[in-house]
Structure 1
Amino acid sequence: MTEISRLAEACARLGEGSSDYDLNPALRPAERALRPAAVLVGICEGRVILTKRASHLKHHPGQIAFPGGKLEAGETPEDAALREAQEEIGLEPSHVTPLLRLPAHETVTGFSMTPILARVAPSDFRCDPSEVDEAFTVPLAHLLNPQNYTVQRRQWRGTMRAYYAVPWGPYYIWGATARILRQMAGAK
């Protein structure tokens, strides 16, 4: 079975979305308005495209993330994911074939983030330094192995918080990005 076939099967079983509160249900606010956002889960030649956010950013500096961001008025999640990938890493929309809209992921920063799984033709990345320090790829096989994921803990806003992590080389992939990838790997 190919990695893409395995991924498609896992995605077909996803069901409900995930949340940064999955491991921390007691920390979930009773009510809050979530802002819509989308990210591109781009698969290119058996590898997943990720970014290292610019270190000078106010929110999530230096963290590993999918290309993506807030939806603008009238945009679909697919539109936003393609626009943001082009803005952040220079990925031409004509090189991207959206395959499937994954269930939304609720972030602790107040977003309902819709991952868009897409096949991406080989492309050169041109990072916008105002948003991204680096674009890189990680083997899909590494990310589809649930054994590569661990639960880590750190203090956040005065409370210990648990989160998933899936390191790769010098990259520490954690939080919402790791949670979405872990769910795609077929782990609950």
Structure 2
Amino acid sequence: MQDDAYFNQILSRLLLRPRPSLRTRGYLRQAKAKDAAVLLLLVKAQKPYFLLTQRSSQLKHHANQVCLPGGRQDEGESLFATAVRETEEELAIPRQQIKPVTTMECIETPSGYRISPFIGYIPQYVAVKANAAEVAHVLTISVDEFLSKEINQQVYLMAGRKHKVLSFSHQQRLIWGATAAILDQFKRWLI
């Protein structure tokens, strides 16, 4: 089946990438950064896609921002387990259905987080049910559509230092900062 071949080609490209070093691509390289993990979850479909969430406006941190499912690491939990647990909590996707693919280079943010991104997939469509306490909207973006998007770079002054910040738009929403940087890395791996 042609769809399987295309999805397998995507997975192969990701798996052939060298695993990232322990070095972070951080903005600030903070010694006391809080560990967090996110999951770029590919969905095997006629046109493979991945999921983004728009955070609830009621959240204390990063309200209304568009991001990958994920969150802060719990004590004694692996970072991949964190990404999968958070995805299940936010989107009600059963963790048993999530298959790991690879890790990406971690990123430190000006807000004090060291984010470890993981790529995983689900072999078929699963109904997504957003946890309203955390997620305002679920967005999907096909891999092909994403690869055609232009990711922009701007320089901002944060904490008295200049930082390059990436961004792009999808479904009339701005995706920027750490999420855009992670997705930029994903894009570079596929092209």
TM-score normalized by the length of structure 2: 0.81
Query: What's the counterpart of residue 38 of structure 1?
Result: 37
For the structure 1 residues 94 and 6, does the alpha-carbon distance in structure 2 shift closer, same or farther, using more than 3 Å as the test? closer
Query: What's the counterpart of residue 89 of structure 2?
Result: 87
Query: What's the counterpart of residue 128 of structure 2?
Result: 125
Separation in 2, partners of 1:41, 1:90: 15
Superposition pairs of residues 16-27 of structure 1, within 5 angstroms: 16=21, 19=25, 21=27
Contact 2:14 2:101 in 1 (8 A): no
1:34-71 Cα shifts (integer Å, max 9, x gaps): 22111111001311111000012121110001110111
Give the RMSD, CA atoms, in angstroms.
2.4
From 5, 8, 32, give the equivalent of 2:9.
Answer: 5
Report the CA distance between 1:164 and its aligned residue: 0.5
> Percent identity, aligned pairs only?
25
Report the CA distance between 1:169 and its aligned residue: 2.4
From 131, 135, 138, give the equivalent of 2:138.
Answer: 135
Query: What's the counterpart of residue 185 of structure 1?
Result: 187
Q: Is there any run of 5+ residues in structure 2 with no aligned partner, and where?
A: none
Q: Is there any run of 5+ residues in structure 1 with no aligned partner, and where?
A: 22-27
Report the CA distance between 1:6 and its aligned residue: 4.7
TM-score normalized by the length of structure 1: 0.82
Say which SS state the counterpart of residue 128 (structure 1) adopts.
coil
For the structure 1 residues 36 and 159, does the alpha-carbon distance in structure 2 shift closer, same or farther, using more than 3 Å as the test? closer
What amino acid maps onto 1:123 in structure 2?
V
What amino acid maps onto 1:19 in structure 2?
R
Query: What's the counterpart of residue 25 of structure 1?
Result: none
For the structure 1 residues 13 and 103, does the alpha-carbon distance in structure 2 shift closer, same or farther, using more than 3 Å as the test? same
